Amino acid sequence: MTTHATARRAVTTERAPAPVGGYSQAIVAGPYVFTSGLGPQDPETGAVAGTVEEQTRQVLRNLGAVLEATGLGLDDVVKATVHLQHVHRDFAGFDRIYREHFGDPRPVRTTVGSDLMDILVEIDVVALRPAPDPAA
C-alpha cells in the first residue's frame, strides 16, 4: 500500500519546455515537489534569449509554470540548484534577476559552473507543499 509519505506522481505542463530525455518535469513526493533542471527555452517557440538576465527570467517563468501545475509557486521553494555556463561573467546578472523573484526568506541555493550545451542558465528547485488542513 502506498501512503502519502511514499506516494509520488509525475507533473507535466505544456506551459514549460517538454523533457528532451527520460525524465519528468517534476515529481510530487510526499510534502515536496522536485523539479528537473529547466532551461530558458520558450515553451511555445523553443527560442532562447541571448543574455543571462533574459534567460534567467524565462527559466523562472518555466519553473513557475511547473510549480503552478502542482498548486504551488516560487514562494514555496525551499532549495534551488543553479547551473551557470559562465559563473564569473554571469553571476551578478543572474543573481539580480533571481532576487526579483524570491522574497524573504529566500530559498537556500547552490550555484555551480556547468557545461550547459548552448544555454547560459539552468535551475532546479525543491518546493514544500503546505500540510493538509486536518479540519477539511
Q: Where are the domains of the chain?
A: 8-128
Q: How many whole angstroms separate alpha carbon 120 and alpha carbon 91?
A: 10
Cβ burial, residue 5 (10 Å; 0-12/13-18/19+): exposed
Whether the predicted pLDDT of 10 surpasses 70: yes
State how far the Cα of 112 lies from the Cα of 78, in Å rounded to an integer. Answer: 18
pLDDT exceeds 70 at position 130: yes
Residue 115 has pLDDT above 60, yes or no: yes
pLDDT for residue 68 is more than 90: yes
Q: Given CA atoms 64, 3, 134, 78 in this order, what sign does their dihedral have?
A: negative
**Per-residue pLDDT for 4 more than 60?**
no
pTM of the model: 0.92
CATH number of 8-128: 3.30.1330.40
